[in-house]
Structure 1
């Protein structure tokens, strides 16, 4: 068996693995609502770079009379591979956009709050705000007995993040005697 034929089989095997990897990525991005980060972009780019590398190796060891067929295969495989990469990056971007906190989004999407809460906690200093300021920013607290104490408010965030979403997540904010926020926690029931 020639080196060219072995490389072609290896390339086709990698193409199948590539498709499987990206379908797993797409499932994961959707399930955990992943957003853009250096790690997520690196994880998405690595299989695509390997796809290009394997095609280049296959091109290098191909006979001169088969170069045209290999060129067409390169264009087709690269285009299909890039479309999976592009779709995954777009999904990350959409998730990033949907995770940006605004009071309007918070008030209109009780189930989607779970994706907004990290941005809320990073960009809005809740500790030190008065109960009135918190209510202005987040709306009225959720009427519930979960985690309820006399000096706190509780906000329902939605189903917990992750692949298996059995419990709910809650934002609990405690206030001192002068109604200033002194502590906040994310909890699951």
Structure 2
């Protein structure tokens, strides 16, 4: 068997693996509600770069009279590969969860995806109880984690692939009704 046939078979095998990788990426993005980050974007681009590399190797080991056929194959495989890459990047963008009071109030089960942005963008420590309730609405009526000096907000099912427990935001207040600490808890 010639080197060019071996390289072509390796390329076709990688194309199948590539499609499978992006299928798994799409499932994972939906299961854990992943959003854009440097790591997620890097993970999306690495298989595509390898796809281009394998095609370049295939082109190097092809006879001169087959170059036109290889060029058409390169365009087809690259287009399909790029479409899968764009699809997964769009899925990441759709999962982008920016906190707004309106979204917090209207999507009780989706709060689990908003809470990180809430914590990063809004300084809860030092806010009065009235300010917290204005920002987050009425606390959840529950006995979970409830103490006399705190408020508890239900966030939804815990993040991750296996979603057994629920996540909660617990905020404690000092004697002057100012938030002194908060925790994310799982029941």
The aligned length equals 187
Distance 1:176 1:94 in 2: 38
Which residue pairs with 1:92 in the alignment? 92
Distance 2:113 2:41 in 1: 20
Does residue 75 in structure 1 map to residue 75 in structure 2?
Answer: yes
> For 1:51 and 1:33, how far apart are their aligned partners in 2?
26
User: What residue ranges of structure 1 are gaps of 5+ in the alignment?
Assistant: none
Tell me the distance in 2 between the aligned counterparts of 1:52 and 1:12: 12
Q: After superposition, where does 1:51-130 map in structure 2 within 5 Å?
A: 51-96=51-96, 99-130=97-128
One of 141, 144, 155 as aligned partner of 1:143: 141
Query: RMSD value over aligned CA atoms?
Result: 0.7
**2-structure distance, mates of 1:110, 1:37:** 24
Deviation at 1:45, TM superposition (A): 0.5
CA deviations on 1:21-60 (whole Å, 9 max, x unpaired) are 1111111111111111111111110100000010011011
Measure the CA separation in 2 of the matches of 1:56 and 1:7. 10
Structure 2: runs of 5+ lacking an equivalent: none
Structure 1 residue ranges, 4+ long, deviating more than 3 angstroms after superposition: none
* In structure 1, C-alpha distance between the alignment counterparts of 2:53 and 2:123, rounded to whole Å: 47
Local SS of the residue matching 2:82: helix
The offset of 1:119, in angstroms, is 0.2
TM-score (norm 1): 0.97
Q: Distance in 2 between matches of 1:178 and 1:37?
A: 39
TM-score, length-normalised on structure 2? 0.98
How far apart, in 1, do the equivalents of 2:37 and 2:113 lie? 15
3-state SS, counterpart of residue 36 of structure 1: coil
Once the two structures are TM-superposed, the CA of residue 20 in structure 1 deviates from its matched residue by 1.1
